[in-house]
């Protein structure tokens, strides 16, 4: 394991791991109305303001924490046994599910008994659960009956991030412009319920993924990000995939999608699920395609259906399903610069053309809904016809598919199945807003989940940036989740550093959107950072940031000595010309002379400084 994912010493099993915590950080839990609602957060302890800046105590900062118990020093995780269950009791006490004796999908059963893959099998096989006959176990179904589940209460606490205690830091927050979203000052469990009932937010939480720490995706909540991982036919082992998942949540991934297409997809997914505290999404058509030897035309509804059940019983929380790619849409892509770039989309387009009939995903949609509600798997309706170039942005194929996705959303909602909608892709800045507006209108405000979008095609090697620009914009307009794009996009498979940079880049986009929308408390972290910056509290600046290690490294490159960490100037301007230092000098001067009016202080100060400057030269600020 890497430096960040530390092996546990001594008597514990060799597969036991901890994720390196962030500096000056501590894992805390906020308890809800019952003892088994324990909501994790990261508390960052800040140092005191230096004496000559006022010697204040700085309150701690609480930030959203996706890292699970891997950062809890009191919990040992053995990857072979999986995480402890957060939700098992909540699921059981609803009394609407039953434990099955074993997998009810043919493939799942076969993998469980196949001696050839026995060595890859997850050690602790758990029995799958399913809704009892006639029951619907989706969070949307409960919400629509007015039931507030423990999951909903958990989420309300999580979204608030102890804002009450951070009011001081949050003071002076800009109001923001949320384009008509209705973000409340305090998130209540009832608000969570009503948003889920309305279909404006989803809680991806399969009953077979009890290890999950509940989270929500919706435009009235914090903007979330997804990180993709997955082996391909060429590379990587199960252990590597689990490690990538841990790495992704360590840097702040809110959900992880397992896009594996190579060997042992079933086993890899089991290991990931049993060890993941965040929702796991998949694209089931990828595995279905593997089962028919990669020939799209050989796919059948029966094979697809069996794959859905197989994955639902393992605990996958949301499925990307490209049911919006209809036969009559395919010719609309003929004149495109880049055709169909979606993997799932191209598989379905090929199937439709080969059989010259309507897609089986579309014709069997209601049967898919029946499966989704028996396990509470959420739909992520795929954008199989998203534009793959600036040239193709917002064309008839893309918007034709979006209209179909709107139609399917309404069918899913008739079944109380939670639904979000996937979006583009490649879109220039000025054409992004209409994507959001059209999605809200067509899909009844179901959450939007976009891939970027990339705002230009000219920068291979920098597509985390070309796409984060689009992601920040669409997040501001109301997109609920942003699917990261790494700098290897269009070039190769991302390595660990690419994943880290991709996630941090998307945390920036999501947070920029939260600030712009005026999410309550979003600005607290910025305010804490700016205050630390003004007061030259270097350690705090590193620790408050999204990537403390990198910030520290960069600072060390210029000013490596420990003493520089308390220096009252920064490495950009040096001790002589630091603007922060100059304005503090002006403030001190005003206080010393008893000058109340800032403008007057500035004037008097400036006059004096100018005189001093002329007499002594530029060295007047050199008092360090
Ligand atoms: C997100 C929004 N639009 C597409 N995505 C992601 O792209 C989706 O969630 C999944 O991770 C991946 C699916 O790619 P294809 O099969 O559409 O290329
Ligand atoms: Fe692309």
Domain borders along the chain are 219-518, 568-623
Beta-strand pair 16-19/448-451: unpaired
Residue nearest to atom 18 of ligand 1 (CA): 342
- Is the predicted pLDDT of residue 615 greater than 90, yes or no? no
573 annotated binding-site participant:
yes
Ligand 2 centroid to Cα of residue 160, in Å, is 35
Could you tell me the pLDDT band of residue 623, with boundaries at 50, 70 and 90? very low
- Is the predicted pLDDT of residue 3 greater than 50, yes or no? no
pLDDT at 231: 72
- Is the predicted pLDDT of residue 8 greater than 60, yes or no? no
Query: Can you tell me the distance from the alpha carbon of 287 to that of 271, in angstroms, rounded to the nearest whole number?
Result: 16
- Secondary element (H or E) of residue 133: none
Beta-strand pair 16-19/5-7: antiparallel
479 annotated binding-site participant:
no
Atom of ligand 1 nearest to the CA of 285: 16
Does residue 446 come out as left (phi exceeding 0), alpha (psi in the -120 to 50 range) or beta?
Answer: beta
Query: Can you tell me the distance from the alpha carbon of 192 to that of 196, in angstroms, rounded to the nearest whole number?
Result: 6
Reading the block at residue 64, the tokens are 């959203």
Cα 53 to Cα 285, 288, 567: the distances in Å are 60, 63, 13
Q: Which of 451, 453, 470, 484 to mutate to test the pocket of ligand 1 (most atoms within 8 A of CB)?
A: 451
Cα torsion angle, 441, 452, 368, 279, sign: negative
pLDDT at 620: 40
94 annotated binding-site participant:
no
Q: What is the tens place of the pLDDT at every residue in 421-465?
A: 999 999 999 999 999 999 999 999 999 999 999 999 999 999 999
Ligand 1 centroid to Cα of residue 324, in Å, is 13
Atom of ligand 1 nearest to the CA of 380: 9
DSSP designation for 58: P
Contact indicator for 247, 311 with CB cutoff of 8 Å: no
444 annotated binding-site participant:
no
Measured from the alpha carbon of residue 321, the closest ligand is 1
Query: Can you tell me the distance from the alpha carbon of 95 to that of 210, in angstroms, rounded to the nearest whole number?
Result: 15
Query: Can you tell me the distance from the alpha carbon of 392 to that of 299, in angstroms, rounded to the nearest whole number?
Result: 29
DSSP designation for 436: H
Q: What are phi and psi of 280, to 5 degrees?
A: -110, 130
Ligand 1 centroid to Cα of residue 510, in Å, is 18
Nearest alpha carbon to residue 538 among 559, 565, 557, 576: 565
- Overall average pLDDT of the 20-43 stretch: 96
Measured from the alpha carbon of residue 491, the closest ligand is 2
177 annotated binding-site participant:
no
572 annotated binding-site participant:
no
Contact indicator for 177, 477 with CB cutoff of 8 Å: no
Q: What is the tens place of the pLDDT at every residue in 347-385?
A: 999 999 999 999 999 999 999 999 999 999 999 999 999
Atom of ligand 1 nearest to the CA of 425: 3
Measured from the alpha carbon of residue 289, the closest ligand is 1
pLDDT at 5: 56
Ligand 2 centroid to Cα of residue 98, in Å, is 43
Measured from the alpha carbon of residue 479, the closest ligand is 1
Residues with CB under 5 Å of ion ligand 2 are 388
Ligand 1 centroid to Cα of residue 451, in Å, is 7
552 annotated binding-site participant:
no
Measured from the alpha carbon of residue 467, the closest ligand is 2
Give per-residue burial for 219-238: e unless 16+ CB within 10 Å, then b: bbbbbbbbbbbbbeeeebeb
526 annotated binding-site participant:
no
* 219-518: CATH class: alpha beta
Query: What is the gyration radius of the CA atoms in the chain, in angstroms?
Result: 26
SS3 call for 462? coil
Ligand 1 centroid to Cα of residue 285, in Å, is 12
Could you tell me the pLDDT band of residue 2, with boundaries at 50, 70 and 90? very low
Residue appearing with tokens 């090929």: 350
- Cβ-based neighbour number of residue 596 at 10 Å: 9
Ligand 2 centroid to Cα of residue 389, in Å, is 7
Q: What is the tens place of the pLDDT at every residue in 498-549?
A: 999 999 999 999 999 999 999 999 999 999 999 999 999 999 999 999 999 9
- Cβ-based neighbour number of residue 419 at 10 Å: 26
- Give the distance between the most distant pair of CA atoms in the chain: 90
Ligand 1 centroid to Cα of residue 571, in Å, is 42
- Overall average pLDDT of the 339-346 stretch: 97
Mean pLDDT computed over every residue of the chain: 91
- Residues with C-beta less than 6 Å from any ligand 1 atom: 228, 257, 259, 283, 320, 342-345, 380, 382-384, 422-423, 449-451, 483
343 annotated binding-site participant:
yes
pLDDT at 622: 37
Could you tell me the pTM of the whole model? 0.92
**Torsion angle, alpha carbons of 209, 214, 220, 221, to 10:** -120
Contact indicator for 467, 432 with CB cutoff of 8 Å: no
Nearest alpha carbon to residue 481 among 294, 207, 205, 204: 204
Residue nearest to atom 6 of ligand 1 (CA): 451
Q: What are phi and psi of 77, to 5 degrees?
A: -110, 125
- Overall average pLDDT of the 295-302 stretch: 98
Q: What is the tens place of the pLDDT at every residue in 463-495?
A: 999 999 999 999 999 999 999 999 999 999 899
Partners of 480 in beta bridges? none
ipTM for the complex shown: 0.99
Query: Can you tell me the distance from the alpha carbon of 82 to that of 76, in angstroms, rounded to the nearest whole number?
Result: 10
Query: Can you tell me the distance from the alpha carbon of 10 to that of 586, in angstroms, rounded to the nearest whole number?
Result: 57
- Strand runs labelled E in 351-465: 378-381, 419-423, 448-451
Ligand 1 centroid to Cα of residue 380, in Å, is 9
């Amino acid at each position: 394991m890497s430096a960040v994912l530390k092996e546990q010493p001594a008597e514990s099993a060799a597969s036991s791991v901890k994720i390196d915590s962030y500096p000056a950080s501590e894992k805390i839990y906020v308890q809800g109305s019952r003892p088994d609602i324990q909501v994790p957060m990261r508390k960052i302890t800040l140092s005191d303001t230096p004496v000559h800046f006022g010697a204040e105590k700085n309150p701690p900062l609480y930030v959203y924490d996706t890292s699970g118990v891997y950062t809890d020093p009191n919990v040992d995780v053995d990857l072979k046994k999986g995480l402890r269950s957060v939700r098992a009791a909540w699921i059981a006490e609803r009394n609407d599910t039953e434990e099955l004796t074993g997998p009810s999908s043919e493939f799942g059963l076969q993998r469980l008994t196949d001696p050839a893959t026995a060595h890859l099998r997850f050690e602790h096989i758990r029995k799958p659960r399913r809704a009892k006959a006639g029951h619907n176990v989706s969070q949307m179904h409960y919400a629509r009956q007015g039931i507030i589940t423990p999951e909903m209460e958990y989420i309300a606490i999580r979204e608030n991030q102890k804002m009450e205690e951070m009011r001081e830091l949050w003071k002076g927050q800009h109001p923001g412009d949320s384009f008509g979203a209705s973000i409340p000052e305090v998130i209540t469990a009832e608000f969570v319920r009503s948003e889920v009932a309305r279909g404006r937010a989803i809680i991806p939480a399969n009953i077979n993924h009890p290890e999950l720490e509940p989270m929500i995706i919706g435009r009235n909540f914090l903007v979330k990000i997804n990180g993709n991982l997955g082996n391909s036919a060429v590379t990587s082992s199960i252990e590597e995939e689990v490690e990538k998942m841990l790495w992704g949540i360590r840097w702040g991934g809110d959900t992880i999608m397992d896009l594996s297409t190579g060997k042992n997809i079933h086993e890899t997914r089991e290991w990931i699920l049993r060890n993941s505290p965040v929702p796991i999404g998949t694209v089931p058509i990828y595995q279905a395609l593997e089962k028919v030897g990669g020939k799209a035309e050989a796919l059948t509804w029966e094979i697809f259906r069996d794959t859905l059940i197989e994955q639902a019983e393992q605990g996958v929380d949301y499925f990307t399903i490209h049911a919006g790619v209809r036969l009559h849409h395919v010719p609309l892509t003929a004149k495109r610069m880049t055709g169909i770039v979606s993997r799932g989309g191209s598989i379905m387009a090929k199937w439709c053309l080969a059989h010259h009939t309507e897609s089986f995903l579309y014709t069997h949609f209601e049967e898919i809904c029946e499966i989704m509600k028996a396990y509470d798997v959420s739909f992520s309706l795929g954008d199989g016809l998203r534009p793959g170039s600036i040239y193709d942005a917002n064309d008839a194929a893309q918007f034709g598919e979006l209209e179909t996705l709107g139609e399917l959303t309404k069918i899913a909602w008739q079944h109380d199945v939670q639904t979000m909608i996937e979006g583009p892709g490649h879109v220039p800045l000025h054409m992004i807003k209409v994507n959001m507006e059209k999605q809200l209108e067509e899909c009844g405000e179901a959450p939007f989940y976009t891939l970027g979008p990339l705002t230009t095609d000219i920068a291979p090697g920098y597509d985390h940036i070309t796409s984060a620009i689009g992601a920040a914009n669409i997040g501001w307009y109301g997109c609920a989740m942003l699917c990261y794009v790494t700098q290897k996009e269009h070039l190769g498979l991302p390595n660990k550093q690419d994943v880290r940079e991709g996630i941090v880049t998307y945390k920036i986009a999501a947070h920029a959107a939260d600030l712009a929308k005026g999410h309550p408390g979003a600005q607290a972290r910025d305010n804490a950072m700016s205050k630390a910056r003004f007061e030259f509290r270097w350690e705090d600046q590193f620790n408050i940031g999204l990537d403390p290690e990198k910030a520290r490294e960069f600072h060390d490159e210029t000013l490596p000595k420990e003493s520089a960490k308390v220096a009252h100037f920064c490495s950009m301007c040096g001790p002589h010309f630091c603007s922060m230092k100059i304005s503090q000098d002006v403030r001190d001067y005003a206080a010393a002379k008893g000058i109340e009016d800032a403008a007057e202080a500035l004037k008097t100060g400036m006059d004096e400084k100018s005189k001093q400057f002329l007499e002594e030269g530029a060295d007047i600020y050199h008092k360090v």
